[in-house]
Structure 1
Amino acid sequence: MLVPHEVCFQMSSLLLVFSLPMVASSSQERNVGSHASSNADAHKVSSRLLFEITLHGFLLWVSLGLLMPLGVLVIRMSKREESGKKLKTYFRAHAILQMLSVLLATAGAIMSIKNFSNSFNNHHQRMGLVLYGIIWLQALAGFLRPVRGSKGRFPWFFGHWTLGITVSLLGVINIYSGLLAYSEKTSRSIRLWVILFTIEVSFISFFYLLQDKLEHIQKQGVILGNEASGTIDQMASHSVKQESSIESG
C-alpha cells in the first residue's frame, strides 16, 4: 500500500514527465516569430559565451538531472537492509553521488555569477537561486543526521527526504527552463535535448516507482513457489497412500 508521500511523488513525476515537454514545445513554437526578429542579437553571442552557457547547462544537468536522482534511487534501495556491508555500500554510494552533485552545482553557480548577467528577472534564474540554497541546506542536513533509533531521527529523515525530492523535482524543472533560455538566447533548436532528457526522466521515475513493487513481486514469487511445492508434495503423498492401499489389498 502506498503512503501519502509516495502517491504525491507519483503524481508529481507523471505531471512533470508529460507536461514539461509540451510546455517546451509550445513555448518554442510561440517564439518562432520573435526569434526571426532577434536573430541579429543571437548572432552577437560570442563563441566564448556560447561555450560557457553550454558548460553551465552540462554541469547542472549532470548535477541535478543525473547524480541527484541517482543518489535518491541508491539510498531508496537500502531500505530493506537493516545492517551489514550492503547497507554501508548503499550509504557510501549515496553520499558520494550527492557530494559530487553539490560540487558540480556549485561550480555551475559560480560560472553563472561570474560570467552571466543575473538580473533575476526570469523563472530560470530565480529557481536556480532557490535551488542553490536548498542544495547546501540538504548537504548540511546530511552531515547532521542523528543516529538510528534516536528521537530526532524521524523528523530529520522526513525533512531530509522532503528536501531531496524537492531538489530533484525543481532541478528537473529548471533544466527544462534552462533549455528554453538557451534556445531563446541562441535561436538553436532544443527539440532533441528535450526528447532525450524526457526519456531519462521517464526511466528514472519508472525505476523509482518500480522499487515499491519489487519486494511485493518477489514475495508473490515465493508464495507461488511454496504453493506449487506444497501441491507437488500433496500429490506425491496421495500417490504413496494409493500404492500402499493397493498392496495391502
Structure 2
Amino acid sequence: MQISDHMLRSFTVTALAYVFLLPLVSCSSHGEIISNHTSIKENLHKTSPQMTSYIAVHGLILWVSMGFLMPVGILTIRMANKEEGGRRVKVLFYLHAIFQTLAVLLVTVGAVMSIKNFENSFNNHHQRLGLALYVAIWMQALIGIFRPPRGNKRRSTWYLTHWILGTVISMVGIINIYTGLEAYHKKTSKSTGIWTILFTAQVSFIALFYLFQDKWEHIQKQASLPPLPSDQENVIVVTQRVNQKVMLPQPCAKRNALTNLFD
C-alpha cells in the first residue's frame, strides 16, 4: 500500500504540474509567435513602399529606354537613309547614335537595379525576356560600334544583322514593358490601366509614323501636281491599255531559193 500511495502521490503532482504549467508554456509560445508575426508584418510594411518605389523607377527607366529612345533612334536612321547626302544625313546619324547610346546606358541602370534590389528567380516571362534583352542590347551596341566601312564585302551582312537585331530588340522590348506593367499590378495591387493606355498611344503614334515615313514624300508630290484635263486623262488611260496589249508573233511565210537570191 505504501508503494501504491507513493505512486499515486507522484502521479498527482505530475498531473498538477501539467495542468498549471502547460498553459503558461503554450501562452508564452503563442505570444512569441504573435510577436514574431507582428514584427514580420511591420518589416513588410516598412520595406513595401521602398520596394514599390524601386519597381516604379525601374519600370520608368525601361519605358524611356526601350519604349521611346530605341524606336525613335530607328526612325532617325530611316530618315537618314532617305537623304542623298549633306549635313542633314550627319545630323540624323548622330541623333541615332545618341538615342541608342542613352537607351543602352538606361537599360544598364535598370538591369543593375533589378539585380541589386529584386528577387530574380526568373520564374516569369518578364524576367526571362528582360535577361535576354540585356544580352541582345549589348550585342547590338557592339555590332554598331564595330561596323565595317562602306565598300567592304562584310558591309551588307553587317547591315542586315544590325537591322534585324535592332528591330527584334525594339519589338520585344515593347512587349516586355507590357509584361512589366502586369507584374507591377500583381505585386503591388495597384491599377496600371492609365499607364497601359498612355504607352499604347505612344507606340501607336510611333508605328503610324514608321508606316507613313515611306509615303510622306509621295503624298507631298501628289498635293503639288497640277490637275489633268478630263480628255487628257482619257487619252492616258487608253494609251496605257494599248501598251499593255500583248503582241502575238506572226507566222513567217516560206521562203524559197529564188526569193533568197533577190533579197
TM-based fold match above 0.5: yes
Alignment-derived partner of residue 179 in structure 1: 181
Match of 1:201 in 2: 203
Q: Aligned equivalents of 2:228 and 2:77: distance in 1?
A: 34
Secondary structure, counterpart of 2:214 in structure 1 = helix
Tell me the residue number matched to 2:18: none
Stretch deviating more after TM superposition (155-164 or 117-126) = 155-164
Q: Which residue of 1 aligns with 2:68?
A: 66
TM-score, normalised with respect to structure 1: 0.71
1:226 CA displacement: 8.8
**Counterparts in 2 of 1:77 and 1:132: CA distance versus 1, 3 Å:** same
TM-aligned CA deviation for residue 145 of structure 1: 1.2
Normalising by structure 2, we get a TM-score of: 0.68
Distance 1:147 1:163 in 2: 19
Q: Indicate the residue corresponding to 2:53 in structure 1.
A: 51
Structure of higher CA gyration radius: 2
Aligned residues: 189
Give SS of 1:46's match.
helix
Unaligned runs of 5+ in 1: 1-41, 232-249
Q: Which residue of 2 aligns with 1:27?
A: none
Deviations 1:148-200 (CA, angstroms, capped at 9, x unpaired): 23221111111111111111100100000000000000001111111110000
Matched with 1:95 is 97
**Contact kept? 1:43, 1:186, Cα under 8 Å:** no
State which of 95, 112, 120 in structure 1 corresponds to 2:114: 112
- Distance in 2, matches of 1:43 and 1:162, equals 46
Unaligned runs of at least 5 residues, structure 2? 1-43, 233-263
Letter in 1 for 2:171: L
Match of 1:121 in 2: 123
CA distance in 2, matches of 1:150, 1:57: 41
RMSD of equivalent CA atoms: 2.1
| 2:30 alignment counterpart | none
Q: Residues 9-20 of structure 1: matches in 2 within 5 Å?
A: none
> Identity rate of aligned residues, in percent?
57
Compare relative contact order (CA 8 Å, sep 6+) and give the higher one, 1 or 2.
Answer: 1
* Aligned-partner Cα distance in 1 for 2:61–2:197: 19
Distance across 2 between alignment mates of 1:128 and 1:168? 12
Larger relative helix fraction: 1
